[in-house]
A and B are shown apart, each in its own frame.
Chain A
Amino acid sequence: GESVGLHLPTLSVQEGDNSIINCAYSNSASDYFIWYKQESGKGPQFIIDIRSNMDKRQGQRVTVLLNKTVKHLSLQIAATQPGDSAVYFCAEIRNTGNQFYFGTGTSLTVIP
């Protein structure tokens, strides 16, 4: 769950395809999860969130899946567009919001 200074894994997809970005978290006490999108030189932007009492949540073109058994979170982006190219981070919140940690992140590149 804690972010570490690792270089980001990358994912390249063709425009129009679906993208799946994965995230593993470490603490079973985490009760709230958020996906963020970060464009170069900017702060993270909220995409979608999910609470631990849910296993799926859908937004506009995005779906988040939560598997608490294996502590795994995924973000699915439908019909990926060039504007979706960015770094995507999952974040886990523990202890009623007083602890907030990012995952390693994935750099998504959409090929026109």
Chain B
Amino acid sequence: GAVVSQHPSWVICKSGTSVKIECRSLDFQATTMFWYRQFPKQSLMLMATSNEGSKATYEQGVEKDKFLINHASLTLSTLTVTSAHPEDSSFYICSARDQGPQGAGNTIYFGEGSWLTVV
């Protein structure tokens, strides 16, 4: 079945540095990918919608200059947390939309998530 791979699974970085998280669709092309963050015992909060070849659409309250999203190919989207601070520590999850061979599908597959700890 379709798989979305997220890397790294776990990263620790120093405060002030930047960290990049990759999201790959392994056996389908994804024109649309989504990025979420999740705090313990809470729901997933949509951060941005990433469309291949165009700028990401950020949700209200999400700083686009801090959370840089790049979707340069149909199988890869990246989220870069710039100048990370301890409050950015969270579980970040991506998902990718599989439109199917006719382009009319809407199946969403999730990556396994990336734990970011900023120290």
Chain A residues within 8 Å of B, Cβ to Cβ = 2-8, 32, 34, 36, 41-46, 49, 89, 91, 93, 96-105, 107
Contact = CB atoms under 8 A, between A and B. Distances in A.
Given A41-B113, A42-B112, A43-B111, A97 B32 contact: yes
A99 B42 CA distance: 20
Contacts of B99: 97
A42 B41 contact: no
Interface residues of B, number: 28
B106 A5 contact: no
Candidate in B41, B43, B115 with the most chain A CB atoms within 10 angstroms:
B43
Given A8-B43, A45-B110, 16 more contacts: A2-B46, A8-B42, A32-B106, A41-B91, A42-B112, A43-B6, A43-B112, A44-B44, A44-B110, A46-B109, A46-B110, A89-B44, A97-B97, A100-B34, A102-B36, A105-B42
Nearest to A34: B108
B110 A102 contact: no
A91 B45 CA distance: 11
Closest 8 CB pairs of A and B: A43-B110, A3-B43, A97-B106, A43-B112, A105-B43, A43-B113, A102-B44, A44-B110
Nearest to B6: A43
A57 B34 CA distance: 26
B45 A100 contact: no
Contacts of B43: 3-6, 8, 89, 102-105
B77 interface: no
